[in-house]
Amino acid sequence: MSHVLAAVAWPYANGPRHIGHVSGFGVPSDVFARYMRMAGHDVLMVSGTDEHGTPIQVQADAEGVTPRELADRYNRVIAEDLRALGLSYDLFTRTTTRNHYAVVQELFEGLHRNGYIVPKVTTGAISPSTGRTLPDRYIEGTCPICGYDSARGDQCDNCGNQLDPIDLINPKSKINGETPEFVETEHFFLDLPALADALRQWLDSREGWRPNVLRFSRNLLDDLQPRAITRDLEWGVPIPLDGWRDRPDKRIYVWFDAVIGYLSASIEWARRTGDPEAWRKWWSADAEGKDARGYYFMGKDNIVFHSVIWPALLGGYSGEGSRDGEPGMLGRLNLPTEVVSSEYLTMEGRKFSSSRKVVIYVRDFLERYDADALRYFIAVAGPESNDTDFTWAEFLRRNNDELVAGWGNLVNRSISMAAKNFGAIPPVDPAGLTEADRALLDTAKAGFAIVGDLIARHRQKQAIGEAMKVVAEANKYLSEQAPWKLKGEDDKPRMGTILHVALQVVSDANTLLTPFLPHAAQKIHELLGGTGVHAPMPVLEEVEDLDGGPAYPVLTGDYTVGARWESVPLEAGRPLAAPKPVFRKLDPSIVDEELARLAG
Ligand SMILES: [Zn+2]
């Protein structure tokens, strides 16, 4: 048993999230965390909304609200969506808490003290009217290479060349059209080259990673440059150094602050449990965290932050780069055990785009369909190791032919037949079990090792496939045994045995599917006459900021209760009620309705 950190990428709080966002890492990280808890590990699953940076500042300006007001709005929307999906965060918080500011500043100071943060004067673009840094992608102009007139400051979409905004002909701000000013400005840089050797050693010691993630990460090390970690912007975490702390125009860069969220959220979680040092069991590279493992879940566009930048921050803070140094007051910190990156989900063959309305927001989806229907689709057809396409026709087919006709049908027919003929879980005939009975029971039992191992190795598609094989075997068994034909009084003991076996396998398959389909699993547990919590659910709570800031909502929950990853023998005689359908069959007309919605 280990302390397992499930660190889930932080959604940016500039709008509601679409189903592509939750397909890559939201749902898969929850499947992993739920399985690891059921298998007896001590899991800490953390995330929150990422709320600083230029895009939020720009959007807030456009709407005439403060960045904090904008972040408040979408933090709440996102937290509510993740709750509705049943994502079992121990803490889902945000980057605007005072606790987060303090932890970010502690890492900055530690890295600075150890010599891994260095000041540098550079030429950068600022907006003359606001004095804020104009990030490269907010600058547009004519490409100096091909003459394309809408080249971005960082690259030209026409000729594909990487650009520097100062080389653009006739550069303009995309925010307000003014001509940017290029000025000398002092910023702090993370000295990544001083951490490259330590990063390479660490990457060489990784096992079990998806090969593309490891290859991509190694390639990044070949050309590491110092990276700016501060900006000219007033919305962000202040720089904790004398002469900088009180400057209203300089802030820590959003990516530096957001990636530290995994650690700050763990510390916040510990402080809220009343044991403020408890986070060390998941984070300390010394004795307190000796059995800790950390798994990071994200989309592939974020690999660099998790396999290079974040380990560099942790290593530099712990004093482990070429400049050595001493760990700060948080002690030596663990680097990730594994970076689990997903590919992209497209929709009806196109890239998700909120601005072009190629989008299905999580909230809209859940207004019309059940959370487990989406969770099922993501598990069997999500972008685990390839880009995959969401189509409404495929969603309908998976829901109706697999979830409803396969799993739902097995649950429904075995429980209704037992309820009708016995009113309870029937006993096994003293004449004993046949070979077919034993074979099916053994298949279901063997599923625990097979499915569990696949989830632990982040092969969720294969894992749910194996669980659904047990379901298919059980449906085949029922068809072959045909208990409905055993109508006579003499046949009743055999009918009871068949239904007992079928219900035991329903119970086992339900446990195997619990990490994937937790809402349905709870209902099926109750249909089988079970009581209490089978699959614990997150709750949205309003909390006070621990250090005097404004109150905010968090997702949290008690996940110490619930089913274990094992077969639990059903007791004969436990009362059964006639079942209600667990899954909803969808009308084929939804496909045209949804496509019309997209087009409109
Ligand atoms: Zn060009």
Examine the pLDDT at 357 and tell me if it is beyond 90: no
Residues 16/361, Cβ–Cβ less than 8 Å: yes
Average per-residue pLDDT for the chain: 95
**Cα distance between residue 353 and residue 231, in whole Å:** 27
pLDDT band with cut points at 50, 70 and 90 for residue 162 = confident
Instruction: Determine the distance separating the centroid of ligand 1 and the alpha carbon of 145, expressed in angstroms.
Output: 5
- Name the residue among 79, 80, 52, 76 with its Cα closest to residue 66: 52
pLDDT digits (tens, 9 = 90+) for 11-62: 999 999 999 999 988 999 999 999 999 999 999 999 999 999 989 998 999 9
Instruction: Determine the distance separating the centroid of ligand 1 and the alpha carbon of 149, expressed in angstroms.
Output: 8
pLDDT band with cut points at 50, 70 and 90 for residue 354 = confident
Instruction: Determine the distance separating the centroid of ligand 1 and the alpha carbon of 169, expressed in angstroms.
Output: 11
pLDDT of residue 431: 86
- Name the residue among 52, 111, 97 with its Cα closest to residue 310: 111
Instruction: Determine the distance separating the centroid of ligand 1 and the alpha carbon of 159, expressed in angstroms.
Output: 4
The whole-number average pLDDT for the span 577-588 is: 94
Instruction: Determine the distance separating the centroid of ligand 1 and the alpha carbon of 125, expressed in angstroms.
Output: 20
Instruction: Determine the distance separating the centroid of ligand 1 and the alpha carbon of 181, expressed in angstroms.
Output: 22
pLDDT of residue 80: 98
pLDDT of residue 44: 98
pLDDT of residue 160: 84
Instruction: Determine the distance separating the centroid of ligand 1 and the alpha carbon of 144, expressed in angstroms.
Output: 7
Instruction: Determine the distance separating the centroid of ligand 1 and the alpha carbon of 151, expressed in angstroms.
Output: 6
Instruction: Determine the distance separating the centroid of ligand 1 and the alpha carbon of 312, expressed in angstroms.
Output: 34
Instruction: Determine the distance separating the centroid of ligand 1 and the alpha carbon of 358, expressed in angstroms.
Output: 27
Instruction: Determine the distance separating the centroid of ligand 1 and the alpha carbon of 174, expressed in angstroms.
Output: 18
Examine the pLDDT at 578 and tell me if it is beyond 90: no
Instruction: Determine the distance separating the centroid of ligand 1 and the alpha carbon of 150, expressed in angstroms.
Output: 9
Examine the pLDDT at 212 and tell me if it is beyond 90: no
**In 3-state terms, what secondary structure has residue 101?**
helix
Examine the pLDDT at 407 and tell me if it is beyond 90: yes
**Cα distance between residue 81 and residue 27, in whole Å:** 12
The whole-number average pLDDT for the span 573-588 is: 94
pLDDT band with cut points at 50, 70 and 90 for residue 64 = very high
Instruction: Determine the distance separating the centroid of ligand 1 and the alpha carbon of 152, expressed in angstroms.
Output: 9
- DSSP letter at 108 equals H
Instruction: Determine the distance separating the centroid of ligand 1 and the alpha carbon of 126, expressed in angstroms.
Output: 23
354 is in an annotated binding site: yes
Examine the pLDDT at 326 and tell me if it is beyond 80: yes
Instruction: Determine the distance separating the centroid of ligand 1 and the alpha carbon of 69, expressed in angstroms.
Output: 39
Instruction: Determine the distance separating the centroid of ligand 1 and the alpha carbon of 184, expressed in angstroms.
Output: 26
Examine the pLDDT at 405 and tell me if it is beyond 90: yes
pLDDT of residue 487: 86
Q: Provide the Cα torsion 291, 292, 293, 298; round to 10°.
A: 170
- DSSP letter at 546 equals T
Instruction: Determine the distance separating the centroid of ligand 1 and the alpha carbon of 146, expressed in angstroms.
Output: 4
pLDDT of residue 577: 84
The whole-number average pLDDT for the span 500-517 is: 98
pLDDT digits (tens, 9 = 90+) for 375-385: 999 999 999 98
The whole-number average pLDDT for the span 387-406 is: 97
Instruction: Determine the distance separating the centroid of ligand 1 and the alpha carbon of 140, expressed in angstroms.
Output: 12
pLDDT of residue 223: 85
Residues 55/71, Cβ–Cβ less than 8 Å: no
Helix (H) or strand (E) holding 293: strand 292-299
210-219, 276-285, 457-466: the lowest-pLDDT one? 210-219
143 is in an annotated binding site: yes
pLDDT of residue 124: 87
Examine the pLDDT at 530 and tell me if it is beyond 80: yes
pLDDT digits (tens, 9 = 90+) for 102-130: 999 999 999 999 999 999 998 889 999 98
Count the Cβ atoms, other than its own, within 10 Å of residue 174: 15
- DSSP letter at 56 equals H
Instruction: Determine the distance separating the centroid of ligand 1 and the alpha carbon of 260, expressed in angstroms.
Output: 36
Contacts of residue 436, defined as CB under 8 A and 6 or more positions apart, other chains included, come to: 477, 480, 481
Give the helix, strand, coil percentages of the chain, each rounded to 5: 45, 15, 35
Looking at 14-66, list the stretches that DSSP marks H as alpha helix, in order from N- to C-terminal side: 19-21, 27-38, 54-63
Q: Who wins on pLDDT, 154 or 14?
A: 14
pLDDT of residue 248: 87
Instruction: Determine the distance separating the centroid of ligand 1 and the alpha carbon of 137, expressed in angstroms.
Output: 15
pLDDT band with cut points at 50, 70 and 90 for residue 157 = confident
Q: What is the phi/psi pair of residue 361, to 5°?
A: -75, 150
pLDDT of residue 556: 98
Instruction: Determine the distance separating the centroid of ligand 1 and the alpha carbon of 183, expressed in angstroms.
Output: 25
Which tokens go with 195? 């951490």
Instruction: Determine the distance separating the centroid of ligand 1 and the alpha carbon of 168, expressed in angstroms.
Output: 10
Instruction: Determine the distance separating the centroid of ligand 1 and the alpha carbon of 180, expressed in angstroms.
Output: 20
Instruction: Determine the distance separating the centroid of ligand 1 and the alpha carbon of 171, expressed in angstroms.
Output: 14
In the chain, what percentage of residues exceed pLDDT 90? Answer: 86
- Three-state secondary structure string covering 140-207: EEECCCCCCCCEECCECCCCCCECCHHHCEEEEECCCCCCCEEEEEEEEEECHHHHHHHHHHHHHCCC
Instruction: Determine the distance separating the centroid of ligand 1 and the alpha carbon of 59, expressed in angstroms.
Output: 28
**Cα distance between residue 335 and residue 513, in whole Å:** 31
The whole-number average pLDDT for the span 553-570 is: 97
**Cα distance between residue 460 and residue 452, in whole Å:** 10
Instruction: Determine the distance separating the centroid of ligand 1 and the alpha carbon of 143, expressed in angstroms.
Output: 5
pLDDT of residue 538: 98
Instruction: Determine the distance separating the centroid of ligand 1 and the alpha carbon of 124, expressed in angstroms.
Output: 21
Instruction: Determine the distance separating the centroid of ligand 1 and the alpha carbon of 156, expressed in angstroms.
Output: 5
In the chain, what percentage of residues exceed pLDDT 70? Answer: 100
pLDDT of residue 422: 96
